[in-house]
Structure 1
Amino acid sequence: MREPTAPEEQKQWAMAAAQPTAAMSGWLAFAGSLIMLVGIFNIISGITSLLRPDLYLIAAGQLLVFNFGIWGWFWIALGIVQVAAGVGCLYGQMWARMTGIALAALSAIAHIAFLTTFPVWSVLVIALSVLVIYGLVVPAKGAAA
C-alpha cells in the first residue's frame, strides 16, 4: 500500500493547463467597427451617386474615371464587402483582417479618383481607411476583438 502524499500532489491530477485564449485587442475591435462605418459611408455614397447624381457639383467629364452610375455600383459593392469584413474582424477572423486591409487600401485609392467631387469627404474617408489599415495590422496574429 502506498503512503499518503502531500495534498498538493493529490490535487495535481485535477489541475489541467488552461487552454490558451486569444489575446484581446482594442485595435482590432476599433478597426472592425471603423471598416463597417466606412462601408456604410460608401454604400450611402453609392446610393447617392445612383439616385442623385446632380447633387455632386462637378462638370461632366471631370471625374477621373467612369461616370456616376458606375461609381454608384462600385461604392455599393465595396461598402457591402467592407461591412462583411468588419463583422468578420469583430469575430477575430484572419481572412477578414486581410480582406479589410485590401478593401481599405482600395477605398482610399478610389477616393483619390473621387477627390474632385467631394474633397473634404474624400480626404476624411482616406484618413479613416489609413486608420483601418493600422488597426488591422497592429494586433497579434491570434488576437480577437
Structure 2
Amino acid sequence: MATTSAPHDTHSGWLGFAGVLAVLLGVFNVIDGLVALFNHHYFVNASGHLLVFSYTAWGWIWLILGIIQIAVGAGVLAGQTWARAAGVLFAALVMIGQFAFLAAYPVWSVITIVLAILVIYGLISAPHGARG
C-alpha cells in the first residue's frame, strides 16, 4: 500500500508581514532621502547640522537604501532566500542610520527603528525554507 504525505505548507505569515514592512520602510526611506536632497531646512536639529554627513550625502544614502529595501521586500514576498539575509542586513543599517537621525526627528526615528526591528523579527522567525 502506497502512502502519500499531506502537502507541506511552506508559507509563512511572518515572511509576508516582513516583506510588506520592508517595502513600506523602503518607501519611507526614499521619502526621507528626497526631502533631504530637495529641502535642506526640513531636517534641522538644535545645532542646525546633521550628526555625520551633509544633507546631500544624507539624502543620497537614504534614497539608495530605500530603493534597495523596496527590492529586498519584493524579493521576500517572491520567496527569494537571498532576500531574507539582505533584509536583515539592510534593516540593521536603517536602525543605525536612524540612531544618527534621533536629534532631528526623534519620534520618526523611533517609529522607523521599531519597523526595522519588526522586519528583522519577521525574517528570522520564519522556519527555514518558508516562503512569504
SS at match of 2:41: helix
Q: TM-score, normalised by structure 1?
A: 0.84
Q: How far did 1:22 drift?
A: 5.2
Runs of 4+ aligned residues of structure 1 deviating over 6 Å after TM superposition are none
Whole-angstrom CA distance in 2 between matches of 1:84 and 1:40: 11
SS at match of 1:144: coil
> What letter corresponds to residue 133 of structure 1 in structure 2?
I
Specify the alignment match of 1:101 in structure 2.
88
Give a deviation string over 1:40-86, Cα, whole Å, max 9, x none: 0000000000001112232333x220111100000000000000000
- Equivalent in 130, 135, 143 of residue 117 of structure 2: 130
Aligned residues: 131
- Equivalent in 17, 25, 29 of residue 38 of structure 1: 25
Whole-angstrom CA distance in 2 between matches of 1:81 and 1:22: 29
- Are 2:40 and 1:53 equivalent residues in the alignment? yes
Identity of aligned residues (%): 46
Gaps of 5+ in 2: none
Whole-angstrom CA distance in 1 between matches of 2:6 and 2:53: 53
Larger Rg: 1
Whole-angstrom CA distance in 1 between matches of 2:61 and 2:6: 44
- Equivalent in 56, 71, 78 of residue 84 of structure 1: 71
Whole-angstrom CA distance in 2 between matches of 1:22 and 1:142: 10
Q: How far did 1:20 drift?
A: 5.9
Q: TM-score, normalised by structure 2?
A: 0.92
